[in-house]
C-alpha cells in the first residue's frame, strides 16, 4: 500500500489519474498532450502508476492504452476512511434516536 501512497504523493501523477478518470483508455501521446513536460517524463510517471497498480495497460495493435484501476484507491478508502466514516454514521444514528425518543412522563422524570 505504501507504493500507492508514494505514487499519489506527486501532483503530476494525480493529474494523470484525473485525466484517465475523465477519459479512460488513453495512449501516452494522448496523456502527454497539453502537459509542460517531455514525453519521456510522462512515461516515467505512468510507469510508477503502473507499478502501484493504479493504472493498467492494454495493447491495441502497437499502441499501449492506459486505464485507471480504482481498486487500490477503494482499498485505501475502506481501510483509512471507512473506519472514521463508520463512527460518524453511528454517532448520527444515535443522535437521531435521541431526537425521536418520546418525551419523558412526569413519573419517569421523578425516578431519574
Q: What is the pLDDT of residue 20?
A: 96
Which triple of cell numbers denotes residue 108?
419517569
Under 8 Å CB-to-CB from 88, ≥6 apart: which residues?
A: none
What grid cell was written down for 85? 466514516
Computed over every residue of the chain, the mean pLDDT equals: 88
Domain ranges within the chain, ordered by starting residue? 2-69, 72-101
pLDDT digits (tens, 9 = 90+) for 50-100: 999 999 999 989 999 999 999 998 888 888 777 777 777 777 777 888 888
Q: Which of 12, 19, 64 is nearest to 37 (CA)?
A: 12
Buried b (16+ CB within 10 A) or exposed e, 55-82: beeeeeeeeebbebbeebeeeeeeeeee
Dihedral Cα 17, 21, 25, 31, nearest 10 deg: -50
- Out of 3.40.50.10330, 3.40.50.300, 1.10.10.10, 1.10.3720.10, the CATH code matching 2-69 is 1.10.10.10
CB atoms under 10 Å from CB of 54, counted, come to: 24
Amino acid at each position: 500500500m505504501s507504493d500507492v501512497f508514494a505514487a499519489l504523493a506527486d501532483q503530476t501523477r494525480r493529474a494523470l489519474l484525473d485525466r484517465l478518470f475523465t477519459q479512460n483508455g488513453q495512449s501516452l501521446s494522448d496523456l502527454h498532450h497539453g502537459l509542460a513536460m517531455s514525453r519521456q517524463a510522462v512515461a516515467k510517471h505512468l510507469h510508477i502508476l503502473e507499478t502501484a497498480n493504479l493504472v493498467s495497460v492494454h495493447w491495441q495493435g502497437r499502441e499501449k492504452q492506459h486505464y485507471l484501476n480504482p481498486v487500490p484507491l477503494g482499498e485505501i478508502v475502506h481501510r483509512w476512511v471507512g473506519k472514521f466514516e463508520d463512527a460518524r454514521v453511528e454517532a448520527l444514528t444515535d443522535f437521531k434516536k435521541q431526537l425521536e425518543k418520546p418525551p419523558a412522563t412526569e413519573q419517569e422524570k421523578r425516578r431519574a
